[in-house]
Structure 1
Amino acid sequence: MLFYSFFKTLVGQSVTVELKNDLSVTGTLVSVDQFLNIKLDNIRVENEEDCPHMMSVKNCFIRGSVVRYVRLPVAAVDTALLQDAARRETQQSTTSGRAA
């Protein structure tokens, strides 16, 4: 859930999604769900020569299972906040694991 919550804060920002088939798509993040399915608007393909059929596509839906990487704007990443959230999530899972 940590990544889902984090990606929700990036809605409206420009991100680059690299797919497992080596296609990289840059666009404005419109939405993301709990499976990390991603919807992008105003997309641009990085290697237009390799995928000329993608030139006419303006928005897309990317299934989370085909994503290799998501490149984020540096200014959008608050590493201290992410580390703190990860620590809290780990503590909650170990605490609930002991109670069972």
Structure 2
Amino acid sequence: MLEQVSLFVHSMWELLVSKHSEGLYNSVCLAVLLVLPLLLLLLSVCLCCQGCCGRTCCCSSCRRQQHNRARRKKHDDLWISSQPQPIMMESLTLSV
């Protein structure tokens, strides 16, 4: 089993070296193909950690910030009221 893995890694290394020696374009393509799975893995780990750990914070400063946000959201209601305020006509001036 270990011999098969070693043979696979050796053949992949030989492929990389031969493609690299063929030119710059092949080297760039190989770099992109090798980096994309690593970036995908890193992104999925970051998203998983954010989803799992980001929701459950039990420190007092986080609770205070959540409470302040809820209070601010309650006071900063920007909906149009059901009873609109009448506009005073004398406050409007017409400039001719």
* TM-score, normalising length: structure 1: 0.28
Higher helix share: 2
Give 1 or 2: higher strand fraction.
Answer: 1
What's the TM-score once normalised by structure 2's chain length? Answer: 0.29
Pair member with larger Rg: 2
